[in-house]
Structure 1
Amino acid sequence: MTEDEARRSIGARRNPKSAEAILEAAESVLMEEGHRGFSIEAVARRARAGKPTIYRWWPSKAALLLDVYQRQKRDVVYPDTGSVEEDIVRFLKRLLSHWRDTPSGSIFRSIIAEAQSDEKAAEALAGYARDRRVQTGGMIARAQRRGEVGSEVDPLVVADLISAYAWSHLLTGRLDETDEAVRAAARVMLCGIVKTGSQSSAETLP
């Protein structure tokens, strides 16, 4: 079998070699042309692939961009230090610095912006966010199994808080938070904001 045959589409299922070639081409186009110059046509030319093949595997430009984004984000992992606070702090610090120091932050901002006016982009982003929500919630579920977090806590709610903190910092250009600020935010997520004993005090009010 020739290399071209090996890279040929095999129906709706992705051919790994073809998919990798397309992703590499997409990453190169994005790095050279930026988001404004990024298009399925440009990727198809660079990868020597047909547009129908790309659209069969990635139904929108945003879906392809999300896969490129995830390729660049491979080093951002969910730590397992044995402390839920430390896990959250390390994850957030790594994510913010990755967005700040690599093109990934700009890519993700572009996807979020596109999702506001493009239905397919919104669907791609929603699917990505659902997957990440489950993975982030896994840190909290793991802490529950250790007995560090109460069983009444919904890990997905905490995942939403973590994502909200990260996304708001990305979208408002606040990626230079100090270690102390990130840790303080993590403690609020874990401990809340109500002062101990305030509930009993509130019960005495008329």
Structure 2
Amino acid sequence: MGEIAAKARKSIGARRNPESADAILEAAEAVLSEAGYSGFSIEAVARRARAGKPTIYRWWPSKAALLIEVYQRQKRVETPDTGNIEADLAGFLMNLFAHWRDTSSGNVFRSLVAEAQSDAAAAAALADYAKGRRAHTGRMVERAKARGEVAADVDAELVADLVASFAWTHLLTNRLDGEEATIRAAIRYLTCGILKPTERKGVLDPRGTS
């Protein structure tokens, strides 16, 4: 059954054994590669890794949770630090689109988002993942605050949600070949707004002031 399957698993309780966890993740990657999202199951992973299903469920409470960790393990998306918030956010989106477009990760993540609409476990796993990514993306905004480029009272995680909404919409509608100019325009709208400068005075501020 191959090198991965040759590794015998040992359960040591709720605390992960790094070697065992890595072997399970490797097995999960192999099953996903061979069987695709529709053929992926905890049973198949357990057989390939020679691990007990209770051990897998102890460390990953659902199939979706395991798949999200596989997705994160495969994800290689650079977060730029150019000293300019527009360039950082646009560069991040371009890197993310390229990753989704050029690897199997995009299909996996798209399927997870779709399953989360009808499966509570998948929805919970996706929400946990999104929380971590929100904080990660928000660091670009926090760096810009430290440079004095962005107002100190801007909610960095809300900005991250807006960036993610643009990305997820393009993923779910299979529009990952967008031109760089379109991505940069979207970020410009986010950072500068869409109202004419003469129309901005008196508009309700998102922080509750005008």
Task: Tell me the equivalent position of 2:93.
Answer: 92
Report the CA distance between 1:10 and its aligned residue: 1.6
Instruction: Return the letter of the residue paired with 2:61.
Output: P
Query: With structure 1 as the length reference, what TM-score do the two structures score?
Result: 0.92
Structure 1's 152 and 53: CA in aligned 2 closer, same or farther, altered over 3 A? Answer: same
Equivalences for 1:49-68 in 2 at 5 Å?
49-68=51-70
Task: Tell me the equivalent position of 1:133.
Answer: 134
Aligned residues of 2:7 and 2:50 also touching (Cα < 8 A):
no
Query: Secondary structure in 1 aligned to 2:157?
Result: helix
- In structure 1, what is the Cα distance between the partners aligned to 2:37 and 2:192? 40
CA displacement 1:52-87 (0-9 Å, x = unmatched) = 1000000000000000000110x2132211111111
- In structure 1, what is the Cα distance between the partners aligned to 2:196 and 2:111? 40
Query: Secondary structure in 2 aligned to 1:197?
Result: helix
Q: Is 1:198 paired with 2:199?
A: yes
Structure 1's 196 and 30: CA in aligned 2 closer, same or farther, altered over 3 A? Answer: same
Percentage of identical aligned residues: 63
- In structure 1, what is the Cα distance between the partners aligned to 2:125 and 2:202? 47
Instruction: Return the letter of the residue paired with 1:23.
Output: L
Report the CA distance between 1:4 and its aligned residue: 6.0
Q: Is 1:12 paired with 2:48?
A: no
- In structure 2, what is the Cα distance between the partners aligned to 1:201 and 1:141? 27
RMSD, matched Cα? 1.6
Tell me the number of residue pairs that the alignment of Structure 1 and Structure 2 aligns: 198
- Mark the runs of 5 or more structure 1 residues left unpaired by the alignment: none
Query: With structure 2 as the length reference, what TM-score do the two structures score?
Result: 0.90
Report the CA distance between 1:109 and its aligned residue: 0.8
Q: Is 1:170 paired with 2:171?
A: yes
- In structure 2, what is the Cα distance between the partners aligned to 1:125 and 1:43? 20
CA displacement 1:4-51 (0-9 Å, x = unmatched) = 67x522210110000000000000100110011100000001111111
- In structure 2, what is the Cα distance between the partners aligned to 1:13 and 1:201? 55
Instruction: Return the letter of the residue paired with 1:47.
Output: A
Aligned residues of 2:7 and 2:49 also touching (Cα < 8 A):
no
